[in-house]
Structure 1
């Protein structure tokens, strides 16, 4: 794998380069502006000096009369020293110098040729090389009393001097630039470390890998996952969530939509406000039953959103029903096994005591009882699964010290749909378990299960001699998790209600204190044709 620089190093280098480029641009801009400003100031100084000399009466008089030239030269030297210019030269209309810092140049023609516009009455500045080197020059015409031009004065400032002034003006800037670079490097390191800490010390490729893994996990899970921000806007929906949305008739992309617009029965906003999770809620949306879990998202002590996980309840219920059915079958088989072993122990004891007459009577009574209990169920309940379940349940309840009386008012045909039998086992099994719990502490422990089939309707009635229920309990017994028997209870009657609704049946509860409880059900029941395999 190709080795790359760490994120912190790259950020430090990048920020340093940005700071350096910014400082270079700033330095260049300030340098140019400073140079222009200095040149403009020096040009103004040269022009003012030239105008001062040109407007001095003695200068024009000396040019006209050619008298007082020594005084004129002394005067220009004084002006030169006072203003700090390089030279102040007065020349006549033939460009012959009358004054010059170098006495040897006096009487000679002015060099450079840029004085000609001034000879025609124009004020002019220029940059040119003369006997004293390259300089910036200002030319101003000199007029006599009669307003006639008699000469030109030229004031020059050396370009080297201008450059020295510029360099001197920029010296503080050099110090500022150095300090700025130092501060920029420190700031770059701090920014790089801060970004690194914000990213939990991870490199970009590590973050990309985590993102890919997270996306893969979210998309592969069999539960719908929905994440919303603090305002209730949907920020994430995995593939399963979108599939369930389509199944609910919501084809739109939920991302960036208000969660209450997409799922009116969702309580994610309530979870965000209360900061309390809601677990295992059952909701129905457009005919689809879902099991919802909604929890808030906390980050650094703040609630920044919420996540909902949900699943098609049909799948959950099928699994629960399968587990419930298996448990009921296992309990029934265990009860039959225990009852059979108890009878074998009695028979063995009678054999060892050689009480053969009592043994014969006991076996005869068992045979008669077994024939009486099983023959009616086997002959009238045509579903082997349901018949076996009822017999097993009867043995189990007897083992618990109670009595189960199974009354069949008619022939119970086998169901055309095997799933109906499994739903019936869930319903009857949970109601019998509930009845057994109700009579557990009662002196009279009788349970009656009546079944009757007529006009494609199956009527089931289960009665117990328990303590009964109050009106308040009757109003809540079908709520998931509600129970008067302790914690981790309250699921049997809830599943019974759901199974009854799945079969499009209805159930009535009749109960009074100290009078027992009766569950009456009527369920549509399509019988299996006799010629069906």
Structure 2
């Protein structure tokens, strides 16, 4: 069985209903206040008039005579009725001191008792107030009648019944229905105009549709894996999902605050605000490497802000670095294969010439050179992976006409697997960067590597004969991951130094540039040292 669902009011209908309710409430308050004011005015005006009527009746000699002489009480009724008809009062009653009614327009009430309520008329004082006599609310004035020598003879009561509520409302606000009709018409017109204006601003959506749209947006925003952050024209955060809060390490109350107040890094601030433009902008923040894409928001031809999406490249960069290391090893092997190929050609030529003693001398020479190079590296670097990297880079340097040397003071003992991997990454990137810097600079180009271990940290210094980094770019090369090489047009180049800093900062160290010298510091733990000693 299908359940009946009442149709929802449109935005215009809701405004109209609200305004009608407000109009009714306002008019009701006005009516109540007007009736209260009318009642107060009625008591004030009618009270004075009724008191005057009662005083006039009480001052007549006929009333005194009728109250003093029982046989002449008949003159009281005509006197009271005459005063009632002339004054317009609802009733004029004359009683004796026993409160027994002697005159009344209704003969059935003659002989009954007059209800005095709070009146002090029997003590000789006049009184004006409200009573519940005759079954209805009435305003009464009580005046004592005095005889000779101030003797109290009786009481004159002049009263007027209160009008009904409807009559009082009609008297107080005679055009209430007209006001209600006019206000309702104006409210209806205003509601329609207001709802049209609001719907133009809300793209024609009803409140329920706007609520559903916001809820759907929130669910979608926090459900996607990529980080999303919205910035307005003033540089304040308008929206941010959980992923972006985690990647950028923002506080939970980031929405509504300016980027300056959140203390974001300068490079990140420049990308988020559009000072740095371009696709896939790489930003290193903390121990993470992010790629950001900013999209401006344009509304009615004006820029309203921007939305920036971000992805965590840390793991991807680590994998890519391993690939780069593999490629570097491949290039090194290729260089060594080329070198061995040339040497084999020399040996083959000497054999054909039957210069056998020369063949033996040549073989001993190249074998000794390779052995000396390997022994020199292994004597200073105890880690096999790092030693193999330096030997391979030495061959690569020789192929491009440069010299790779390790300082005599260099010394590095066994290290753990984790530190070994990070050292291979850092040294490999710094040496590659140095070899690129001295490429095509002449036959005397060189790259120097110095390594030392102290206070539970490994210090690596790579220096070359190239022009070096300008002082103003000493930090920029790490933040942007850019390159000054001719191959800079390749978007994959220029990340080596950024990766180097990422590895160092993740360990609590750092890397810096000073001209043509780069110094990296990699702290290590006691467990990593113990792991290296065991291996």
TM-score range for the pair, normalised by the shorter chain length = 0.5 to 0.7
Q: Retained in 1: the 8 A contact 2:474–2:514?
A: no
**CA deviation profile, 1:262-291 (whole Å, cap 9, x unmatched):** x997679x979x97889977787xxxx577
Match of 1:250 in 2: none
**CA deviation profile, 1:346-389 (whole Å, cap 9, x unmatched):** 999xx9xxxx959x99x999988975665555666666644654
Name the CA distance, whole Å, in 2 between partners of 1:191 and 1:457. Answer: 71
Match of 1:480 in 2: 479
CA RMSD of aligned residues (A): 7.0
Shift in CA distance, 169/205, structure 1 to aligned 2, threshold 3 Å = same
**CA deviation profile, 1:202-249 (whole Å, cap 9, x unmatched):** 4546545554555566xx88x89999xx9999x99969979999xxxx
Name the CA distance, whole Å, in 1 between partners of 2:460 and 2:137. Answer: 121
Name the CA distance, whole Å, in 1 between partners of 2:501 and 2:223. Answer: 38
Q: CA deviation at 1:518?
A: 6.4
Name the CA distance, whole Å, in 2 between partners of 1:277 and 1:387. Answer: 44
Match of 2:22 in 1: 19
1:42 aligns with 2:46: yes
What pairs with 1:109-508 in structure 2 (closer than 5 Å)? 111=110, 113-115=112-114, 126-129=131-134, 138-144=141-147, 146-148=149-151, 153-159=156-162, 164=167, 167-179=170-182, 201=207, 202=209, 204=211, 207-208=214-215, 210-211=217-218, 214=221, 316=314, 320-334=317-331, 336-337=333-334, 374-376=370-372, 385-386=385-386, 389-390=389-390, 393=393, 396-397=396-397, 402-406=400-404, 415-444=414-443, 446-448=445-447, 464-466=464-466, 468-469=467-468, 472=471, 479-481=478-480, 484-485=484-485, 491-493=495-497, 495-496=499-500
Q: CA deviation at 1:473?
A: 6.4
Q: For 1:157, what is the secondary structure of its paired residue? A: strand
Give the TM-score of the pair, scaled to structure 2: 0.56
Name the CA distance, whole Å, in 1 between partners of 2:530 and 2:124. Answer: 128
Name the CA distance, whole Å, in 2 between partners of 1:507 and 1:127. Answer: 100
Runs of 5+ unmatched residues, structure 2? none
Match of 1:33 in 2: 36
Count of residues paired in the alignment = 477
Q: For 2:479, what is the secondary structure of its paired residue? A: coil
Shift in CA distance, 309/20, structure 1 to aligned 2, threshold 3 Å = same
Q: Retained in 2: the 8 A contact 1:413–1:527?
A: no
Name the CA distance, whole Å, in 2 between partners of 1:320 and 1:378. Answer: 31
Q: Retained in 1: the 8 A contact 2:57–2:156?
A: yes
Shift in CA distance, 57/291, structure 1 to aligned 2, threshold 3 Å = farther
Q: CA deviation at 1:144?
A: 4.4
Give the TM-score of the pair, scaled to structure 1: 0.57
Q: Retained in 1: the 8 A contact 2:47–2:141?
A: yes
Q: Retained in 2: the 8 A contact 1:462–1:518?
A: yes
**CA deviation profile, 1:240-260 (whole Å, cap 9, x unmatched):** 979999xxxxxxx9869xx99
Aligned counterpart in structure 1 of residue 55 of structure 2, from 51, 60, 79: 51
**CA deviation profile, 1:385-444 (whole Å, cap 9, x unmatched):** 446545654565566xx2244557899999442334433333333333333333334343
Deviates more, 1:121-130 or 1:441-450: 121-130
Runs of 5+ unmatched residues, structure 1? 246-252, 512-516
